[in-house]
Amino acid sequence: MVKNLYIILVLVGLGFMFYTFADGFESADKLNPVAERYAKQGPDEVGAANLVTAVVVTYRGLDTLGEVTILFLSAAIVAFFLKVTYGEEEKRQTRSVSEIMQTAARLLTPAVFLLGIYVFINGHLTPGGGFQGGAIIASGLVLMLLAKPNMKVSHTLIHVVESISGLAFVFIGVLGILYAGGFLDNSLMGMGTLGSLLSAGVIPLIYIFVGLKVGAELSNIVAHLQESQNEA
Amino acid sequence: MENIGLENIALFSGLILSLVGLWGLLTQKNIIKMIVGFALLDTGIHLIMIAVGYVKNSTAPIIGEGVTKANAADVIADPIPQALVLTAIVIGLGITALMLAYAVKMHQKKKSLDINHYKDLKW
């Protein structure tokens, strides 16, 4: 009883705080100085048409590296927790997947993978980028697993892709120290013209590796969650 | 309240979503439902951050139609909260996957998803 009262108090208090903040909310008329600098200098300094990408990959590139590391860590912990014991092959009983689902998955999976690749290759020009593209690729794997619940996912392939792209990301960053302005500086390669595919220095390259890495990590998590259903 | 813009709608739905998520987190007994509550709280906070970064009558921070290098600083929304939310979404996904893995493991151990059956850290 007292517990319920506390919960109500917390929710009402927080709701009141939120409400007073949101009620008179007026969005700003102009950008704050940091954002203004990014907007004015970004196109020339970084060369990416998508300014969010410029912030994510170049201005805050170290944050992105940390973020990829956190994702790797959570994928590794999931893999550690759901370690599969390949003992007696007792398949879990699943309802047979409907014809529509199987055909649609066969038709759509290549298109989903292609869309993911498109999204991360064009990350510096259009909305999207490595993380979103990687998530789309992993969702293609989810579709495949829904159509074939007992499919085996190759962990070796996932680990190879993940390790190579992670190493390449750091390697590009270190090359930036040696040959350009600093760690993850994108002026390592030519800037190109603003808005074309081969522009913004190494951003497309970094986003390709980020996309592959995120796709591999999320696929790894999904595959481990699927396999752990076979035990129990 | 004569001119309600898109940012106010996003802000209020974010607030409601995060309150619903917090309520779920505090009251539900089923671990899976608590994880759903966490995901709602997460999404609500993302919506609030995006809404706060909006600039009046602005457009997406991508140089293309209508946004040129010269006028970019006057017509775009703040790109920094958007970059932060991009990060936060991925981290939220990782945390949700981690919690689901814990839930699977807990269910394997005790065959129960009721939080009241787990007293190991209770004081």
Q: What is the pLDDT along chain A (232 residues), one digit of tens a residue?
A: 778 888 888 888 988 888 888 777 777 777 778 777 777 777 777 777 777 887 887 788 788 888 888 888 888 888 888 776 555 555 666 778 888 888 988 899 999 999 988 888 887 777 878 888 888 888 898 888 888 877 777 878 888 888 888 888 888 888 877 777 777 777 766 676 676 667 777 788 888 888 888 888 888 888 888 777 665 4
Full set of structural domains in chain B with CATH = 6-117 (1.10.287.3510)
* Closest chain A residue by Cα to residue B54: A27
Q: Is residue A183 part of a domain?
A: yes
Decide if A124 contacts A210 (C-beta within 8 A): no
Strand partners, A216: none
Q: Is residue A189 part of a domain?
A: yes
Task: Choose the closest CB to B83 out of A60, A77, A82.
Answer: A60
Instruction: Tell me whether A38 touches chain B (CB under 8 Å).
Output: yes
Interface of B with A in 62-91 (CB under 8 A): 62-64, 69, 72-74, 76, 78-80, 82-83, 86-87, 89-91
Decide if B106 contacts B118 (C-beta within 8 A): yes
* Closest chain B residue by Cα to residue A219: B97
Per-residue CA distances from A73 to A78, A160, A218, B60, B99 (Å): 9, 16, 12, 32, 13
Nearest chain A CA: its distance from B122 CA (Å) = 15
Low-confidence ranges of chain B (pLDDT < 50): 1
Q: Tell me the residue type at B106.
A: M
How many domains are contained in chain A? 1
Nearest chain B CA: its distance from A89 CA (Å) = 18
Decide if A218 contacts A142 (C-beta within 8 A): no
Instruction: Tell me whether residues B91 and A67 touch, CB distance under 8 A.
Output: yes
Instruction: Tell me whether A175 touches chain B (CB under 8 Å).
Output: no
Q: Does pTM surpass 0.90? A: no
Left, alpha or beta for A114 (phi > 0: left; psi -120 to 50: alpha)?
alpha
Interface of B with A in 9-48 (CB under 8 A): 11-12, 15, 18-19, 22-23, 26-27
| Domain, as residue range, for A144 | 50-83+97-228
Q: Which residues of A touch B19 (CB under 8 A)?
A: 11, 14-15, 18
Q: Tell me the residue type at A202.
A: V
Spatial neighbors of A48 by CB under 8 A, at least 6 apart, are: A42, A54, A57, A58, A124, A125, A199, A200, A203
Decide if A39 contacts B61 (C-beta within 8 A): yes
Which of A55, A186, A40, A43 has the alpha carbon at shortest distance from B80?
Answer: A55
Q: How many CA atoms lie within 13 A of B104 on its CB side?
A: 24
Q: Which residues of B touch A28 (CB under 8 A)?
A: 54-56, 78
Per-residue CA distances from A47 to A65, A131, B36 (Å): 20, 20, 40
Q: Is residue A27 part of a domain?
A: no
Q: Is residue A19 part of a domain?
A: no
